[in-house]
Structure 1
C-alpha cells in the first residue's frame, strides 16, 4: 500500500539539505547542524526523530533535500517504519518526475503552440517563469473548475482500472489512490496551463489525453516503490544479522549454533545492547537526484546500505591498493553468491533482487546494483541506483 498511512515515524533521521534547502532554513532563522554521515563525510543539515513522512515528502518536492540517512544497530523492531520511509522517498521522486513530464508534454500540445503564436507576449514554454504567489493568487478562486478538471481527467482512468480484470482488488484500490495522488501533486504551473485551456473543448481534450497517458505510465511505475522497500529491508536485516553473529562469537565463544542462539530473545537483546554500546551500526542512505538544475538527473535515486566489512585481515592484505576509493567492486548478485555458507540466508535477497530487476525492466526504470568495498575504511557499501 502507498506510504503516508503513518503520520509519525520514529527513526533517527539525518537530513542533508540542498542549496535551496539551506537558504530556506537560514532565512527562517533555523539552526543547521554539521552532520557526520556513515561514509565519514560531514555536511550541513538537520536531525529529526520523530518526524512526519509528509514533511519529508514536501521538502523533497521543493528540492530542499539532497540526502537522508538512518543508522541503527537493529532494524527488526522498526521494519515497517523503514519500509514506509523508503516508499515515501520513491513516491516523492515519481511525483516530481510525473509533474515534469506533464509540463513537457502539455507545452507540445497544439492548443499551447497555437496560443504561443497568437500571444507572443504570453508564451508558455520551457523558459516560462511565473512566481508561485502570483500563480496561487490566479488559481485560488478556481477551486470548482479544478475539481471539474480533475473529474474529467480521472473518470476514464478510474473506469479503465475498475474494468481491468488482470488487477486484483488490492491493486485496483492502490491504483485508484495513486492516480489521484499524482494529480493532486501537480505543480501550480501545470494547473495554470490546465485551467487556461479548460473551457477550450478541443484544447483541454488534447491536454487531458496527454495527462491520462502519463497517469497510466506512472501508476504502473509506482509499484516499484514496494519492491524497493522490501529489498532494502532484506539487505538491512542481512547486514544486521551478520553484525549480530560476529558479536555473538565474541560474547559466546565456542557456541556452534549461532542461529539458535540468536533466536533467544534475552540473548539477542544482550547482543544488540553490546552493538549499541560499541556503536556498531548499519546505515541506510538515500541520495536524491541532482537538484532542480541538474539536467537529466532529477529522476535519479541512489540508495546505499553501509556496514563494516567482514573480510578478514589476510584478505584485505591481498588488495593491491588499500588507499584507492574503490578497492573492490562487483554486482549485488555476485556479492550474494560470494557470501560463505552459514553467514546468512541469501535466497530471499536473490529472489527480491531478481523480482525488482524484472519489474524495473518492464516499467522502463533503469536499475543498477553495485557493491563497493573500501579497505581503508573497513566499509562495505551496497548501492542500488535507479533512474525513473
Structure 2
C-alpha cells in the first residue's frame, strides 16, 4: 500500500514556479540518411509487434535488425536511445557543410543518452536497497525484484496515475534546492540556466516508476535519504553536461579535417599548398569535387553503444564513436594524432583553442588539440576517455575511434 506524502515540505517559495513537464521537446526531422541497428531487446520489441525491420549484415557475421532511413526524426531516435534499443548507428556524410548542425545535434544527443542512462540505472539500483523492496523480495522469493525485473510495470503505472500531485511535490522538493544552486552560479549565462533547468527536469521525468513508488511509500527518513542520493546523482550529471558540447565540437572539427583530406586528394598533386584553401573555398570547385567522390562520401560518423554490469553493482554505459574519411592519408592522420592529440592543455579553455583555429580549410590539427582538452576534462569528470587512430584494412584510410565510458 502506498503511504501518504503529507510530510513533504510545502514551504517552497511561490516564486519558485517549477512545473514538471514545463519544457516540451521541439519536434524536428533531419535530412540525413542513416542506419540504425537495434539491440536484441529492441529487435524483439519491434518483431513481436510485426513491424517491418531492415536486415543488416555487419562485420561480426551476424544478422542485425534495424532501420534504414532517408531522414532522421530526432524525438524518435531519442526514444530509441533512452530505451536502450540502439546498438549501432551510421551517419554517412557527402557534404559536411550541408549537415553540420545536424551532426552536432546528434553527437550531443548520444552523450545525453549516456548521462540519462547512467542516472536512471544508478538511482534504480539504489531503490532496490529500500526496505519496501527488501520486504517484498523476502515474501516473494520466486518473484523478486532486481536489476532485470521490475515490480509489475503495468500495475505500477496504474497505481501511480492517481498520485500525480504527490509525485509532482516530490519532484519539486528535489528540484528546487538544485536549481537555486544553479541560479547563483555567476559563470553560467541565462541560456545555460535555461538548459540546466530543462536537463534537471528531464532527469526527474526519466526516473523509473518504481523509484517514485518507493518514495511515496517510504517513511519520511528513508524517503529523504533516497532523495538525497537522487540529488547527488543529479549534481554529478550536471558536472558532466558540458561533455556533450565538447564532443560535438570535436566531432565536427575532426570530420571537417577528414572531409578536407578527402577533397585535397581529389585536387591532385599539381595544386600548390598555398592555393589549397582558395580552391576548397570556391563553391564551384567544391561542388565539382564532391560530385566526383569515389564512394559518394567525404566522411562518416558511426556510433557503437553498449552497457555491462559492473562488479561494483551498477551498469556501465559505453559509447564508441568512430569517424571515417575517404582519403588515403592514414600516415598523416596518425602523425597529427601523435603530435597533437596527447598534449597537456594546462589552464587553457575550449574557447581559447577554438580562437586559435583557422577555419574548416586551415589547420587540420585543431581537432587533434581538442582530444587533449576533452581527455583532461573527462578525467576531471570521472569519465573514461580513450582515443585511437586505426587504418582501415585494405583501404589505407584512417578511422578515429573515441570511446567514452561512464
What is the TM-score with the length of structure 1 in the denominator? Answer: 0.82
Distance in 2 (alpha carbons) for counterparts of 1:14 and 1:54: 16
Distance in 1 (alpha carbons) for counterparts of 2:174 and 2:271: 66
Stretch deviating more after TM superposition (294-303 or 44-53): 294-303
Stretch deviating more after TM superposition (40-49 or 356-365): 40-49
Check if 1:223 corresponds to 2:231.
no
1:1-388 equivalences under 5 Å are: 7-35=28-56, 43-108=64-129, 112-113=130-131, 116=134, 120-121=138-139, 126=147, 129-197=150-218, 200-249=219-268, 253-254=270-271, 257-275=275-293, 278-290=295-307, 298-308=316-326, 310-311=328-329, 333-334=337-338, 345-388=363-406
Q: Summarize deviations over 1:122-160 as a string: whole Å, max 9, x none.
A: 676547532321221121111111111111110111111
What is the TM-score with the length of structure 2 in the denominator? Answer: 0.79
Distance in 2 (alpha carbons) for counterparts of 1:101 and 1:265: 50
Distance in 2 (alpha carbons) for counterparts of 1:387 and 1:137: 35
SS in 2 for 1:354: helix
Q: Is the 8 A contact 1:63 1:291 kept in 2?
A: no
Distance in 2 (alpha carbons) for counterparts of 1:12 and 1:362: 36
Q: Is the 8 A contact 1:14 1:47 kept in 2?
A: yes
SS in 1 for 2:386: strand
Distance in 1 (alpha carbons) for counterparts of 2:363 and 2:163: 57
What residue ranges of structure 1 are gaps of 5+ in the alignment?
316-327
Q: Is the 8 A contact 2:265 2:327 kept in 1?
A: no
Distance in 2 (alpha carbons) for counterparts of 1:263 and 1:3: 39
Residue 100 to residue 206, structure 1, CA distance change in 2 (3 Å)? same
What residue ranges of structure 2 are gaps of 5+ in the alignment?
1-22, 343-360
Q: Is the 8 A contact 2:37 2:88 kept in 1?
A: yes
Q: Is the 8 A contact 1:289 1:300 kept in 2?
A: yes
Residue 161 to residue 29, structure 1, CA distance change in 2 (3 Å)? same
1:78 to partner: Cα distance: 0.8
Stretch deviating more after TM superposition (152-161 or 36-45): 36-45
Residue 204 to residue 337, structure 1, CA distance change in 2 (3 Å)? closer
Residue 129 to residue 90, structure 1, CA distance change in 2 (3 Å)? same
